[in-house]
Homo-oligomer: A and B are copies of this chain.
Amino acid sequence: MNEPKSLFLTDNSLGIATDLYQLTMAAGYFEQKMQDIATFELFVRQLPKNRSYLVTAGLEQALHYLAHITFSPETIQFLRQLPIFNRVSQKFFEYLRSFAFTGSVYAMPEGTIAFAEEPLLQVTAPIIETQIVETYLLSTINFQTSIATKASRVVYAAQGREVIDFGTRRAHGPQAGVLAARACFVGGCKGTSNVFAAHELGMPAVGTIAHSWVMAFENEQDAFCKFHEIFPDNTTLLIDTYDTLAGARHAATIGKKLKGVRIDSGNLSELSKEVRKILDTEGLHHVKIIASGDLNENRINDLLKTGAPIDSFGVGTEMVTSKDAPALGGVYKLVEQEHGGKVIPKMKFSKDKLTYPCKKQVYRIIDEAGNFAKDVIGLQGEELGGISLLIPVIKNGKICYNLPAIPEIQHTTSNNLAHLPEPFKRLTDAETYPVTKSQGLEAKRNEAEKILRNINIP
């Protein structure tokens, strides 16, 4: 009988947690004795549908990766026997044996509001290293940024009411559920149902009962009383298993100690109003109404417009998969290379996929009220005023950045969003935040493009 495999990533497998072509290119650079220092930038070409900004997230896991990437002897053995490597010298595999990331990284701190074309991460290292780390960095930053952004929209729609992440069961695997819980918190959620994520990060773990509890007892009333016996100070009851209004009346019999009721189906606006009446009639004004069930920012917005007396939202599927825009198209592109003592700007001009060369910095210009006025993408070291959003996080392979705890990151997000004027964060028809490129950058691009076109397109 075969043992089933978990397929869990571990620190030992980080070296091969990448696309094969990163390793064939690494072997190629090695064999060609190409030791140039390269700089790659990670950015999103266009914001996804329905998004007017990004909330950056995932940097901590990216730094974990860069600090721990290694090739175990067993994974090197695996690579060596792949037919594609049969002409690659033994020396390359010896090189992998002592592989570590020795480069330097600039990044936007997590919770920073960012826009299309702005580098979120900038990696400078010997070209083999920059190449190998591409895939993992992209998938880490793409995913958490996508979810933190979505969560921030859901939180915005809730207008100060609590939003809780309930999404693990619909996330892209159990591990994605953990990362999503983190990213939702970065985006402003007040807690998560995911116990492992809460444990690892110190976030509030939230939840009480499911339909199965109600169904497991002879009747609903009995199920409610039995739960209250064990959790007298945390009695939030799910009331829609059989009939929501009957459920509300059953819950109300708990009396003053009842903390909340959850409605997970039906017309949440009408039901919440009816349930509120039932509770209030019993003097249970303090009892909170929690709504859940396929919620997203638009549905929450609609519900609140109808005056639904909902105190808290449990949001799952739509938030943890960013369902209306489930993939963030971040890319990681070579922008500059030091070769023979010279710095050579690099760019590509594939159709619709043109990139800008050179190490960049994002300069955020603040208006007199302290709000974000516009961003300028310029060259690193240009004097353009404003706040420089990319800060050093790794220097010569060592983390040089004091990682904030998750509540601090959440605070960064809310603080950033508070300074992003309203028109740029409306749920629909948001205006486009002004991002321009500096003259210095445009000049470098024109120069590099001319040279590269002459060389490559006869």
Query: Which residues of chain B are within 8 angstroms of A213 by Cβ–Cβ distance?
Result: 25, 28
User: Which of A32, A34, A169, A351 has the most C-beta atoms of chain B within 10 angstroms of its own C-beta?
Assistant: A169
In the bound complex, CA of A25 to CA of B237 (Å):
12
In angstroms, Cα B68 to Cα A5, docked, is 11
Let me know if A208 is at the binding interface, CB within 8 A.
yes
* A247 nearest CB neighbor, chain B only: B456
Cα separation A301 to B84 with both chains bound (whole Å)? 31
Residue A312 at the B interface, CB < 8 A?
A: no
A99 CB within 8 Å of chain B: no
- Is A201 at the interface (CB under 8 A from chain B)? yes
Closest B residue, CB atoms, query A399: B1
Q: How distant is the Cα of A87 from the Cα of B194 in the complex, in angstroms?
A: 21
Residues of the B chain whose Cβ atoms lie less than 8 Å from the Cβ of A75: 199
A368 within 8 A of B: no
Q: How far is the CB of A133 from chain B (nearest CB, A)?
A: 11
Interface string of A14-46 (1 = CB under 8 A from B): 001111111111011101101010101000000
Any chain B CB within 8 A of the CB of A264? Answer: yes
How far is A25 from B174 in the complex, measured between Cα atoms in Å? 20
Taking the nearest CB of chain B, how far is it from the CB of A26, in angstroms?
10
Establish whether residues A9 and B174, one from each chain, have CB atoms under 8 Å apart when the complex forms. Answer: yes
Contact A16 B136 (CB under 8 A): no
Q: Are A64 and B5 in contact (CB under 8 A)?
A: yes
How many protomers of this protein does the assembly include? 2
Number of interface residues of A (CB under 8 A): 146
Identify A456's interface contact among B13, B174, B243, CB under 8 A. Answer: B243
Measured in the bound complex, the distance between the Cα atoms of B266 and A178 in whole Å is 37
Judge whether A68 and B6 touch: CB under 8 Å: yes
Q: Which residues of B are found within 8 Å of A61, using beta-carbon distances?
A: 4-7
Q: Return the CB mask of A150-174 against B: 1 if under 8 Å, else 0.
A: 0000000000000000101111111
Q: Which residues of B contact A17 (CB under 8 A)?
A: 174, 178, 194-196
State which of B3, B87, B348 has its C-beta within 8 Å of the C-beta of A211. Answer: B348
- The residues of B that contact A326 with a CB separation of less than 8 Å are 321-323, 326-327
**Complex interface: chain B residues within 8 A of A337 (CB):** 216
Give complex CA distance A323, B323 in Å.
8
Partner of A348, one of B24, B86, B196, B241: B241
| Residue A375, interface by CB 8 Å | no
The answer to whether A142 has its CB under 8 Å from any CB of chain B is yes
A457 CB within 8 Å of chain B: yes
Bound Cα distance from A168 to B176, whole angstroms: 13
Q: Are B60 and A5 in contact (CB under 8 A)?
A: yes
Our pick among B3, B82, B173 for the contact of A139 (Cβ within 8 Å) is B173
Contacts of A232 in B (CB 8 A): 87
Most buried by B among A127, A212, A456: A212
Q: Which residues of B contact A358 (CB under 8 A)?
A: none
Instruction: Give CA–CA (A227, B78) in the complex, Å.
Output: 22
Q: How many angstroms between the C-alpha atoms of A88 and B231 in the bound complex? A: 8
Check if A230 is an interface residue, CB within 8 A of chain B.
yes
Q: Mark A113-146, 1 if CB is under 8 A from B, else 0.
A: 0000000000000010001001110111011100
Closest approach, in angstroms, between the C-beta of A125 and any C-beta of chain B?
13
Find chain B residues with CB under 8 A from A87 CB. 230-233
- The interface stretch among A218-226, A302-310, A412-420 is A218-226
Instruction: Given A4-B399, A7-B200, A453-B242, verify A231-B265 contact (CB < 8 Å).
Output: no
Q: Is A387 an interface residue (CB 8 A)?
A: no
Which residues of A approach B to under 8 Å, CB–CB? 1-11, 13, 16-25, 27-29, 31-32, 34, 36, 38, 40, 60-61, 63-65, 67-68, 75, 78-79, 82-84, 86-88, 127, 131, 134-136, 138-140, 142-144, 166, 168-180, 182, 193-201, 205-216, 218-220, 226-227, 229-234, 240-243, 246, 264-266, 317-318, 321-323, 326-330, 332-334, 337, 346-353, 399, 401-403, 405, 452-453, 455-458
25 A-B residue pairs with Cβ-Cβ distance under 8 Å, sorted by A, are A5-B60, A5-B61, A5-B64, A5-B201, A6-B64, A6-B65, A7-B197, A16-B195, A20-B195, A20-B207, A21-B207, A24-B209, A25-B213, A28-B226, A29-B216, A32-B229, A36-B216, A87-B232, A138-B170, A212-B334, A215-B348, A242-B349, A266-B350, A317-B329, A326-B326
